[in-house]
Amino acid sequence: MAASEFDLIRDYFTGLGSRREDVLLGVGDDAALLQPPEGQAVALCVDTMVAGVHFPGDAPAASVGHKALAVNLSDLAAMGAEPAWATLSLTLPDADERWIASFTHGFGDLARYHNVALVGGDLSRGPLSVSVQAAGFVPRGRALRRRRARPGDAVFVSGTLGDAALGLALWQEQRATLDADSAWLIARLHQPTPRVSLGRELRGCATAAIDLSDGLAQDLGHILQGSGVGAVVDVDRLPVSEPARHYAVARRCLEAAAAGGDDYELCFTVPRTRLHRLDAIASRTGVRLTRIGTIEPGQGLRLVHGDGTPAGLQVPGYRHFTS
């Protein structure tokens, strides 16, 4: 790839995403030059997606481009940050220009939608893997953290849960003909929607927030640990989509909603005194918000049914390096 690396960067990556005035120098030099706004903290995150580990190796290239950026924008959303810049490190088995064109299409569409400029990157040859680093701004002292949930706070999630886990099962079945419900679930897996505007709206409202990459049980667990509290979640309230209900039996839907990864919805906690704000936030952002439980003293997550009996779900969250 060495001979054509510079051509590929010129043809496909220079100027990808939005044009922004705070980019003093973008793709093409040894480093980008960027001008963060006064009074704002820079939120910075990075995420690597490896084919066969984080996404199916046969996923459409446009979806890989979309998702590689989306998972980072989701992290920024969980901090209440406004996305601005991204860098991309792409490792490819070969310089397949059709694949690259499609990848940059998926990446570029999402970047422009969220006013993100690609400001630098790197191309190399090897097993397919994509690293994206994203930066955004959040007014100093206003970022959403994981550590301020308090007993009595309500626990909310956005959107619907478990779709991506069911979408992955469908993708692995390799069905030749897909009905509309299956296609929707697979799109939830391949093209997650980062809840950027919701994250921004939750500043000054939520006491803690996280995005759901590894599944509700595990990710809410990070809030509980960070805040030194426990929580009770009513599994009968977990928002499950209609396509999920059509595809899987109720129990499988519940397990996917409680522990399935890759949904990239937000989970957050809100004190009683601010609950009245949520209807307006839901309508301004157009995102469904569901109260699923309550923070309580102690530690750990209790999954129960509406009548208080234990849910008895097998909900291991996804972990690397453990069996």
Binding residues vs Mg ion (CB under 5 A): 75, 211
Q: Can you tell me the distance from the alpha carbon of 279 to that of 281, in angstroms, rounded to the nearest whole number?
A: 5
Q: Which residues, 6 or more positions from 19, have their beta carbon under 8 angstroms from its beta carbon?
A: 117
- Closest approach of Mg ion to the CB of residue 188, in Å: 17
- Closest approach of Mg ion to the CB of residue 74, in Å: 7
Kindly report the number of other CB atoms within 10 A of residue 228's CB atom: 12
Name which of 163 and 219 has its Cβ closer to Mg ion: 219
Residue 273 DSSP code:
G
- Closest approach of Mg ion to the CB of residue 53, in Å: 17
Name which of 76 and 123 has its Cβ closer to Mg ion: 76
- Closest approach of Mg ion to the CB of residue 268, in Å: 12
Name which of 211 and 255 has its Cβ closer to Mg ion: 211
DSSP per-residue letters across 137-157:
EEETT----SS---TTPEEEE
Q: Which of 57, 83, 56 is nearest to 71 (CA)?
A: 83
Q: Can you tell me the distance from the alpha carbon of 176 to that of 127, in angstroms, rounded to the nearest whole number?
A: 27
Name which of 120 and 192 has its Cβ closer to Mg ion: 192
- Closest approach of Mg ion to the CB of residue 222, in Å: 8
Longest Cα–Cα distance in the chain: 66
Amino acid at 14: T
Name which of 146 and 190 has its Cβ closer to Mg ion: 146
